[in-house]
Chains A and B, each alone.
Chain A
Amino acid sequence: MSDYVLDLTGIRKTYRGGVEALKGINLQVPRGCIYGLLGPNGAGKSTMVKILTTLIRRSGGEGTMLGKPIGDRSALQKVGLLPEHAQFPDYLTGRQVIEFTAGLQDVPTSETRQRADSLLELVDMTEAQGRKMRGYSKGMKQRIGIAQALVNDPEIVFLDEPTDGVDPAGRRDFRLLMKRLREEGRTIFINTHILSELEPIVDRVAIISQGELLGEGILDDLRSEKPEFHIEFEGALSPATVESMEKTGLILNSGLITALTSRAADIQPVIDQLRREGLTLSRVELKTQSLEELFMGFVDQSNVAAPPPIPGTPVNPPAIPRS
């Protein structure tokens, strides 16, 4: 048995009508991580989740989920799902929705009650639990959606656009919740295109576009731009200092020094020098390539035949380490 909770090779899906939503995707998702499946609209993210949860059949490819071939229902009992555009029975209360999923997943009645309580607490819906779904706001529905996905104590949780409609406080709660689930040893598979959401918590990402896997791996490894320090100051450096600084590899622009390093110790001498010359430091910042920049880099490269070189980015796609 593989160590991966998800181990997929060459997954393809061609919808009726000829849309090739997935063109042979290989994915390995290790146990106990937060895994982000990123891609623009129509990339095939939801298609992937639907194949894994038997809502649609794959056109080709093989794979296992929790050690069982995909499509095997016994694996689904250990899977939680928040589908895209989830539509829960609107005549049920939030609590009943959680109990409904528990019933479908054959969670013993004795456990359901206690789990529903703690899940409602977890998504901060304890107070509103007795109101009907149709009276909930979008974000409230989404919170209940996340809660019901966890009611069967799943080993792997698929969340398709989980923070759709959730407010900033809710998103922060969501991130905390994800970390907590990871600590409990669950694997969380998140589909999203809201990258800022994922950046602080995600362990691995896969970037797909137009049904093709563009990159996969640990976020830091994927970053093509190395982190650098930006030091902003007011005033002018003496020509001698400019010369000596350029010799050490610093890049100087008016009012900005760029140091190609991520170690803070490396830039202390530069700061000392600026202070000695009586200049005012206005800002010191470690710049990393954001997930969004990374994502756009991949997607643009795949969209444009001859992509314009992005400053600091090699023209060829970076080698993607896969583990």
Chain B
Amino acid sequence: MEAPQQITSRKDPRFKVSMYEHVGVKNSWTLSYYLGHGGYQAAQKALTMQPSEIINEVKASGLRGRGGAGFPTGVKWSFMPPVDGRQRFLVCNADESEPGSFKDRYILEDDPHQLIEGLLIGGYAIGASKGVIYIRGEYYQGYQRLKQAVAEARQAGYLGSNIFESGFDFDVILHRGAGAYICGEETALMNSFEGLRANPRLKPPFPAQAGVYGLPTTINNVTSLASVVHIINNGADWFSSMGTDDSKGNKLYQISGSVERPGVYEMPMGASFRELIYDLAGGPTMAIKAIIPGGSSTPMLPFDDEHLDTPMDYGSIATKGSMLGTGGVILIPTEKCIVNATWNLVRFYAHESCGKCTPCREGIAGWMVKIYQKLVKGFGQEGDIELIEDMADKIRGKAFCPLADACLGPVQSSIEHFRGEYEYLIKNGKPMYSKSDWWSE
């Protein structure tokens, strides 16, 4: 018998929305709503399984971390050292701060119990009795809803001791960030959680060996944990029936920029940009020249048929020279100056540099941003593009954490694809496209 075809389009009748099923529904964030829609059944089931069975199930599903790096979640869980009596932590990274990414936000706001359930399952699987949700400071609504949800879950016994009579104890600590992108980087997040400066830590030791307070820790993105709930409910096979070879399951894609219906769309992995942009988001509202495929740090690609028909999975986007990242698609209109648009992103990264390492602190935050400012103000000089390129070479792969390279994503790709605009701006002192004031300070 022939294996059934993989689901790679939201139009496939077999596809059903899972993680975002209840987003936008009135009172969807309450426990009674959640329970009325099958809530905490996955957890109940999971707590009757062996932890290793859960890990194997997650491994078999092919779920890769949804925080951006795409590390297989089940494999990450299996890195935890043997239980030795020390406190262990499962940390949920809800710091979502990458421009173009906003998928976690609505889970926090509209379906917080889904996250708590995922955390509970994950905590059980890795033997952690403490869950930490590190939530972006600006997500105040999400924080309020989560706080309420945690209180409700405690009250109802979904958090606390001896959950489902399984003997397993689990509770959740909520921690609000204070407005730093770097706190999304897992080790900086741990420092911040501990009350220290949010600088990334050296790896190794990896979090599984020495994470929060030096104790065994696993860290997962909100959406990774939400996915686990459905994997347990529906089985690894259900999950892996969606997507492509290296990218299984469903994923929350986000689209922003000049498009009819910007927002979050749940789709199977491997669906094309075209499906997202035209079929779901209603198409662009003006002419587009560039597409950022997966959040601001992924290199932009020209908006053309070749790229529109590229499946949005890890491998396919990589072959085009970019990355799936968080799946946060951004469209850049033709009539906006690309240098100006890039400056806006460089400014973001410069502002968010933690300052720990030299290439990022001085190269990006101290210098690159000034060159861009000089360019957009019309003071560019011959040699500036080459200078940027040379600096990028001297930064790429040399910084302490990926943030510096993240800034180079838009820088190098915009020069690669739109060098003419840079040259025009330098030569004429004004941009090729005049309507460039979207991002001015």
A binds B: no
Chain B residues within CB distance 8 Å of chain A? none
Chain A residues within CB distance 8 Å of chain B? none
